[in-house]
Structure 1
Amino acid sequence: MENYRKGIASANDKDALISEINKALGVSEPAGSPHIIESLGKRYKRQSDAAVKVRDRVNKVAKHGLPDAWAGSTGAKAGEVVAAAGRDADQMGEAFYEVGICLMSFADQLKDAKKRDKDGRDELNHALYILDDEDGTWDNWFDDEASEQVLRKAQRVANEGIISMLQGAIMADESARHAAREMNKHASEARAGRMSTNELSDADKLALADTGAAGGPRELNEILSSTDLQRSGQRMEQMNAKDRAEFEKMLADSKTPQERAYLTKSLAAGYDMDAIQEFQGKIHGKDPQWLQEHLTPVVTGKESREDLGVDESGANLNRADVDFKGQKWIQGGDGREGTCVASSTVTARAMVDPIYALELTGGKSGQESDPDAFRERLVAEQHRVHQEGPGGKNWGGMSIENQDKVADKEISPHTGTDYELTTVNSPDDRRDVLTDIEQSVADGKPVPIDVNGKSAHALVIVGQEGDMLQVYNPWGTTTWVSEDDFINGHMGKASTGALPNVYAVHVPR
């Protein structure tokens, strides 16, 4: 559409202008029915009321209490399940309401987009009429001043028309992206249903999906992503009877909901029963805080998204350290090496693979809590992945092609999804890939990206809330940036102002 606008503006004769106008008229109008979308939005809003009633009934049960003697098949106590059910119903009601509002807003914007498109087409057809002579043909056109004036008048009218069509197309596209982002986000939060196995009760699935890591709000730090729940359910269905019974016993013997969730996450990460049993022996009976410190590198705080401005380098002031006992998950152990690709890959894998995370934090025994020993293991692992790339000499840099290979080798086996390198050289390119990024991180799949400016650097997108993206920087921090920052070259907020532009994205496919 933008090319047709330029073509109309630069047309120097009648035939060229007619050709560009007809090309523009050949573009399809914005797709979709505002009426149907609005009806769906109203229906979702009505369903939110039903979910609120369910929540109130569940909370009434919770208030009166249930005996802890009742438990799910994997040891989820009555109190856990009822509390989880109440939160789930509350979240469901909120999701239905927000999706309803989102769809109704989308319907309004699509209606406006279609009107702009129609008005633009009317203008383009009027421009063709201006160019037409009384006989309905263009055969009597002369190269004189009067004809030139008619041409320029038609060109002005056509330009107004194509701009109106372009505005309609942009409005339809942006509103559709916004609706898709919100729908994908809420769909990913309907997580208990992803665990499609008959081997666990619905109560157990609900309790597992609801369990959060210590150190932050539960709803921002669920241990099991929707991908984890789906993969663990599939793995349980594929187990033989002996392994399934042993795994269910491990879950039932767990001392905390967090222990059960991390065991389930290890199953989702692709490990066999021998590895999971060894893992259980290392974490059994540990309190939630210990489990979080050793198994979940990134914890999201309640106020982490607040905009506190930027420092003198152009980086966000609101940054959260990613550390183990004070030692950051940072490239080279102190930020001096150029192993940003390897380091971001190591941390991304640790986020989806709790057995791997424990090897780094707890050592061979899984019981260590020494930050210096952790640093040695972390740097050694960063070096291993850097050489696997391979990266550059003296621990400096790695090509984006080799980065894609190490992501496939280190992260993909534990999420079930390969990575695809996508270069993004313009705001439109970044906008096009944004929905895939947001869907991936909502599903629990980290998305490596590369930024440049005065130099180049690797980051990982690890979270998404609304129009904000959570970014891990292998300098040992996380922060939040907006979609606009990502699209329009303001990614220096995640590291330094000297690195503003995203130029490559490794998308899980």
Structure 2
Amino acid sequence: MSDELDRLQDVQDDIHDAHGVWGANDLAAACTTAAAVPTFGGDAGELRAIAEYCEAVATTVSKALQATEPLVNEGISRVWAGDTHVSANEALKALSNDMDRARTAFREICRLVRQHAEPVRRERSDRESAVHLTEIAATVGSMTWGVVPNLEYEGQVMRDQHAKAIRAVDARVARHIEMRNAAEDFATAMHEIEAQARTSRLSDSPLSAVDEVVIAGAGWTPTMVPGSPVLTAAMDDRAAAALAALSDTDRERLTGLLATAQSPEHRAYLLKTLAAGYGVEDVARFDQLIAGHGNDPAWLDEHLSPLSMDGEKPLPGKDFNRIGPVLWEQGRLPTCVASSTVTARAEVDPLYALQLTTGGHPDDPEFDNPLSFEDRLRDEQVRVYDDGRNWRQELFNGRGMSDPQSTTVANEQIAPHTGVRYENVETSDAASRSEIIPAIERAVDVGHPVPFSIDEGREGHQMLVIGHSGNQLQIYNPWGYTYWITEQEFTSGKVDGIDPDIPREPTAVRLPKEAVR
């Protein structure tokens, strides 16, 4: 699509400029070139048939969901199933939630495919414009001997054909731009649906199918706001790969830990720790620390997950991230890079988060209290800040950290626990920001936090993109809260709508790039 559009736009200028007696040969050649550019193709009828099929699937899933609702509401006997002793009630609720996601996904796919069929339907008009350009090339070409006009040349005919050629090539360019934009929007929306549907995640793990569904959907219900499971799509994949790579002895031990876990959320956090790169011994130690709260999803969420990654239902205003009265914030120090990095790591590394929130001593009042958490958080932010700067900054009292230093600390602190390294990408203008948005959205859709720099005058700051829904991005500000902005606000450099003290223009993005082997 891009190649065809580039060719049309190149020849569009040639057609506009080819006028008058000495432009006839150029006009004929340019029209021939423009006519030869392929149409964008597609079959609107086939797309509508696919939409109808998706609608039928959604209806079927809806009927199955309705059939399970009485059992979900009333509960069934507390028998056990699966390798990790998932109760029948838990399994049924998880399957019901999975069906609800599938129904929502198929309905949205149906809507998107029907919407995409409309620009595809206009392919016929693009083909007709190409035919007109061929006819114009023949008419104008008959009035020249190469670059020299012949006796057939007529000025009025040339003017009429030139005007028709301009209309035809402009129409082709406009339709190809429309189709390119529609294709990009369709691809982005489908990726978001794929990441949120989550059906059959952990499918490569050695666990039973029932266990996979229950664990992958832990922490999510149809009525949740914002609605974010414990395991992101990327964590699902990492956990499945780690499970498959375990020795028989370690797999048996881990399966035993999962079997004695007290809730789907408890099991999911054990697998999240495995996905973060820890061995079974570390997972067992982590299990001992959180076992007293294994059946308390709210406690687990507060102490092990500071952010709601990729929330599906944007809410207005600021959503503060806190432990009791203490915010996950940088305080008065110039540590926005270090602070956002620490919070991002805590979100993907539950063992690290537990160390920060409880000092590794849950329920011990000497360690597990808001003020001690605040001290540990500040100490860790300062450690990352000091380790990430150079001697010149210290000597000359330079404040903050540069974009390359931010990239380095992201690769040191976050990447080892996600398997994905970061690369700094400059976004100095609206075009570059618009171009990078799809990549940002793909990253956060699967659960990778994306740091980005913002500047305004001499003021600089770093925040994180942590979620995506429709045309909105979820932002974590290390001043202690998350909020939502539109893609247009990001592109136009106006991310300060929630707070005028925020520097407004995104100037660089740390984009997840390559998997760590």
Sort the TM-score into its range (normalised by shorter chain).
0.7 to 0.9
Structure 2: 5+ residue stretches without partners:
1-5
The verdict on how the C-alpha distance between 1:168 and 1:301 changes in structure 2, with shifts beyond 3 A counting, is closer
Residues 430, 487 of structure 1: 8 Å contact kept: yes
Residues 213, 222 of structure 1: 8 Å contact kept: yes
Q: How does 1:287-326 map to 2 (within 5 A)?
A: 287-299=296-308, 305-307=314-316, 318-326=317-325
Q: How far has the Cα of 1:378 moved from its partner?
A: 1.7
The verdict on how the C-alpha distance between 1:116 and 1:399 changes in structure 2, with shifts beyond 3 A counting, is farther
The verdict on how the C-alpha distance between 1:265 and 1:126 changes in structure 2, with shifts beyond 3 A counting, is same
Q: How far has the Cα of 1:196 moved from its partner?
A: 2.8
Stretch of structure 1 that moved more, 216-225 or 12-21: 12-21
- Looking at structure 1, the residues matched to 68 and 422 of structure 2 have their Cα atoms a distance apart, in angstroms, of 42
The verdict on how the C-alpha distance between 1:121 and 1:281 changes in structure 2, with shifts beyond 3 A counting, is same
Q: Counterpart of 2:65 in structure 1: which amino acid? A: R
**Equivalent residue in structure 2 for 1:413, among 409, 413, 416:** 416
Q: Quote the residue 1:96 is aligned against.
A: 106
Q: How does 1:370-409 map to 2 (within 5 A)?
A: 370-390=369-389, 392-393=393-394, 394=397, 396-409=399-412
The verdict on how the C-alpha distance between 1:213 and 1:84 changes in structure 2, with shifts beyond 3 A counting, is closer
Alignment of 1:178 with 2:174, yes or no, is no
Q: How far has the Cα of 1:169 moved from its partner?
A: 2.0
Stretch of structure 1 that moved more, 374-383 or 117-126: 117-126
Alignment of 1:443 with 2:454, yes or no, is no
Secondary structure of 1:193 counterpart: coil
Alignment of 1:62 with 2:65, yes or no, is no
The verdict on how the C-alpha distance between 1:499 and 1:110 changes in structure 2, with shifts beyond 3 A counting, is farther
Q: How far has the Cα of 1:400 moved from its partner?
A: 2.0
- TM-score normalized by structure 1? 0.86
**Equivalent residue in structure 2 for 1:33, among 38, 43, 47:** 43
- Looking at structure 2, the residues matched to 395 and 283 of structure 1 have their Cα atoms a distance apart, in angstroms, of 41
- Looking at structure 1, the residues matched to 172 and 64 of structure 2 have their Cα atoms a distance apart, in angstroms, of 46
**Equivalent residue in structure 1 for 2:343, among 339, 347, 363:** 347
Q: How far has the Cα of 1:137 moved from its partner?
A: 4.8
**Equivalent residue in structure 2 for 1:502, among 496, 501, 506:** 506
Stretch of structure 1 that moved more, 464-473 or 420-429: 420-429
Secondary structure of 2:298 counterpart: helix
After superposition, the C-alpha distances for 1:36-69 in whole angstroms (9 at most, x for unaligned) are: 3333222211111221122123224334531113
Stretch of structure 1 that moved more, 175-184 or 223-232: 175-184
Secondary structure of 1:503 counterpart: strand
**Equivalent residue in structure 2 for 1:250, among 239, 244, 257:** 257
Secondary structure of 1:285 counterpart: helix
- Looking at structure 1, the residues matched to 259 and 453 of structure 2 have their Cα atoms a distance apart, in angstroms, of 43
Alignment of 1:453 with 2:456, yes or no, is yes
Q: How far has the Cα of 1:427 moved from its partner?
A: 3.6
Q: How far has the Cα of 1:389 moved from its partner?
A: 3.2
After superposition, the C-alpha distances for 1:199-254 in whole angstroms (9 at most, x for unaligned) are: 3221111111221179x927712101111111111111111122112211211222
The verdict on how the C-alpha distance between 1:17 and 1:359 changes in structure 2, with shifts beyond 3 A counting, is farther
- Looking at structure 2, the residues matched to 427 and 30 of structure 1 have their Cα atoms a distance apart, in angstroms, of 27
Residues 68, 78 of structure 1: 8 Å contact kept: yes
Secondary structure of 1:337 counterpart: coil
Q: Counterpart of 1:231 in structure 2: which amino acid? A: R
Q: How far has the Cα of 1:397 moved from its partner?
A: 2.9
After superposition, the C-alpha distances for 1:255-313 in whole angstroms (9 at most, x for unaligned) are: 22221111111011110122212211211121222211111102489997345xxxxxx
- Looking at structure 2, the residues matched to 475 and 26 of structure 1 have their Cα atoms a distance apart, in angstroms, of 56
Secondary structure of 2:55 counterpart: helix
Stretch of structure 1 that moved more, 5-14 or 472-481: 5-14
Q: Counterpart of 1:462 in structure 2: which amino acid? A: I
Residues 94, 217 of structure 2: 8 Å contact kept: yes
Q: Quote the residue 1:240 is aligned against.
A: 247
Q: Quote the residue 1:314 is aligned against.
A: none
Secondary structure of 2:184 counterpart: helix
Q: How far has the Cα of 1:21 moved from its partner?
A: 5.1
- Looking at structure 1, the residues matched to 71 and 443 of structure 2 have their Cα atoms a distance apart, in angstroms, of 36
Q: Quote the residue 1:49 is aligned against.
A: 59
The verdict on how the C-alpha distance between 1:161 and 1:404 changes in structure 2, with shifts beyond 3 A counting, is farther
**Equivalent residue in structure 1 for 2:90, among 70, 80, 86:** 80
Q: How does 1:7-18 map to 2 (within 5 A)?
A: 8-9=15-16, 14=23
Q: Quote the residue 2:3 is aligned against.
A: none
- Looking at structure 2, the residues matched to 507 and 64 of structure 1 have their Cα atoms a distance apart, in angstroms, of 47
Alignment of 1:356 with 2:352, yes or no, is yes
Residues 27, 137 of structure 2: 8 Å contact kept: no
**Equivalent residue in structure 2 for 1:117, among 126, 142, 147:** 126
Residues 54, 110 of structure 2: 8 Å contact kept: yes
Q: Quote the residue 1:312 is aligned against.
A: none
The verdict on how the C-alpha distance between 1:160 and 1:420 changes in structure 2, with shifts beyond 3 A counting, is farther
Alignment of 1:433 with 2:436, yes or no, is yes
Q: Counterpart of 1:77 in structure 2: which amino acid? A: S
Q: How does 1:214-233 map to 2 (within 5 A)?
A: 217=224, 220-233=227-240
The verdict on how the C-alpha distance between 1:243 and 1:430 changes in structure 2, with shifts beyond 3 A counting, is same
Residues 226, 311 of structure 2: 8 Å contact kept: no
Q: How far has the Cα of 1:372 moved from its partner?
A: 2.5
Secondary structure of 1:418 counterpart: strand
Q: How far has the Cα of 1:71 moved from its partner?
A: 3.9
- Looking at structure 1, the residues matched to 341 and 250 of structure 2 have their Cα atoms a distance apart, in angstroms, of 31
Residues 209, 229 of structure 1: 8 Å contact kept: yes
- Looking at structure 2, the residues matched to 450 and 10 of structure 1 have their Cα atoms a distance apart, in angstroms, of 43
- Looking at structure 1, the residues matched to 492 and 160 of structure 2 have their Cα atoms a distance apart, in angstroms, of 36
Q: How far has the Cα of 1:124 moved from its partner?
A: 4.4
- Looking at structure 2, the residues matched to 19 and 458 of structure 1 have their Cα atoms a distance apart, in angstroms, of 52
Q: Counterpart of 1:353 in structure 2: which amino acid? A: D
When the two chains are superposed, the root-mean-square deviation of aligned CA atoms in Å is 3.1
Secondary structure of 1:121 counterpart: helix
The verdict on how the C-alpha distance between 1:176 and 1:67 changes in structure 2, with shifts beyond 3 A counting, is same
Count of aligned residue pairs for this structure pair: 491
Alignment of 1:423 with 2:419, yes or no, is no
Q: How far has the Cα of 1:153 moved from its partner?
A: 5.6
After superposition, the C-alpha distances for 1:102-158 in whole angstroms (9 at most, x for unaligned) are: 11211112223x24533553564465456435357542279x9x86x8776655444
Secondary structure of 1:491 counterpart: coil
Q: Counterpart of 1:322 in structure 2: which amino acid? A: N
Secondary structure of 2:454 counterpart: strand
Residues 263, 280 of structure 1: 8 Å contact kept: yes
Structure 1: 5+ residue stretches without partners:
308-317
